[in-house]
Structure 1
């Protein structure tokens, strides 16, 4: 199985995403700075409550004591799940010392951009390449 790798960088910050496929499901390892496991989010696609013709997602998150990655992990998991109509798990560990509020906004933006890129890449056929590589 092929692993897809993505990175987004701004200033001193770089956030990395490694994407694997387990059957039809997607697993993302999201790291930056001092990598670790801070939060794990899982999301499942479902019909939208506003418009059942659209796909939305429901997610849950487990955050280790003292960690703050819950929002980025859940947002990415739910966004990917709705965008790809697949089950998604995101394991997030992003850490830099003494971040200012503006730094946190930058990192959240980098994570959003990564999620958008992952959705676009898999939607445009990388998921098929991942599946065919798994068969080899």
Structure 2
């Protein structure tokens, strides 16, 4: 099962494409601006040490000089906690000479995209 979400307007729009493995994990590509492979985040759900609720163990791979791994981490963790599934996100977000306001807008759009994707996934029969 695949799903696609687009949030925001150009040049700060982000796109999240997810492929699901029927309860065994989600794999996604997060893009905005010039699409590329900048960083990867892998989130695995587990119970909190207190025994109450979930947390996620997070691993990352970052291309030299790429900051888009921060978006990959945020989206992977958000989806992992929302679905209780392992999530891998490959991110490539790039705007030439992006302002702080544009970076914030793109990160906000990433958060919204993850939320919309989690809701859509659950409606499609995901956990």
* TM-score normalised per structure 1: 0.86
Q: Is the 8 A contact 1:55 1:83 kept in 2?
A: no
Gaps of 5+ in 2: none
Residue matched to 1:82: 81
* TM-score normalised per structure 2: 0.91
| C-alpha displacement of 1:70 | 1.5
Residue matched to 2:31: 31
Q: Is the 8 A contact 1:56 1:82 kept in 2?
A: yes
Cα RMSD over matched residues?
1.5
Residue matched to 1:47: 47
Residue matched to 1:7: 6
Go from structure 1 to structure 2 and tell me whether the alpha carbon gap of 1:53 and 1:123 turns closer, same or farther (over 3 Å shift): farther
Question: Is 2:121 the partner of 1:122?
Answer: yes
Gaps of 5+ in 1: 129-136
Q: Is the 8 A contact 1:57 1:79 kept in 2?
A: no
Q: Is the 8 A contact 1:7 1:16 kept in 2?
A: yes
Larger radius of gyration: 1
Q: Is the 8 A contact 2:11 2:95 kept in 1?
A: no
| C-alpha displacement of 1:12 | 3.1
Note the alpha carbon deviations across 1:63-106, whole angstroms, 9 max, x for none: 10011112110111111111101000000001110001111000
